[in-house]
Amino acid sequence: DDLALEQPSTQSVAKLLGSMGLQGRKILLVSSRDDANLLKSCQNIQALHLRRARELHAYEVMWSEVLVIEKSALATLEEVHGK
């Protein structure tokens, strides 16, 4: 599903990633939209990169150890890069 934050909260994003067992990993979070709250929430988490699906580059995928892709971003990736 998509991450929806009513307000910026680094702690909420860190807690979510922790619950997924991703602490200490290089994470690429792919979103389908510009979301100021999500951007602000991710900025202070080391080794977490947030990218819009339309702006995703191969280097970023290769850099990451883990890809976290929002459901709507997956549809955007299919649209932009094919199935």
How confident is the model over 48-77, as pLDDT tens digits? 999 999 999 999 999 999 999 999 999 999
> Residue 41, SS3?
helix
**Strands, E assignment, the chain:** 27-31, 48-52, 66-69
Instruction: Name the CA dihedral angle for 71, 39, 65, 19, rounded to a multiple of 10 degrees.
Output: -70
pLDDT digits (tens, 9 = 90+) for 14-52: 999 999 999 899 999 999 999 999 999 999 999 999 999
Tokens 């860190």 belong to residue: 14
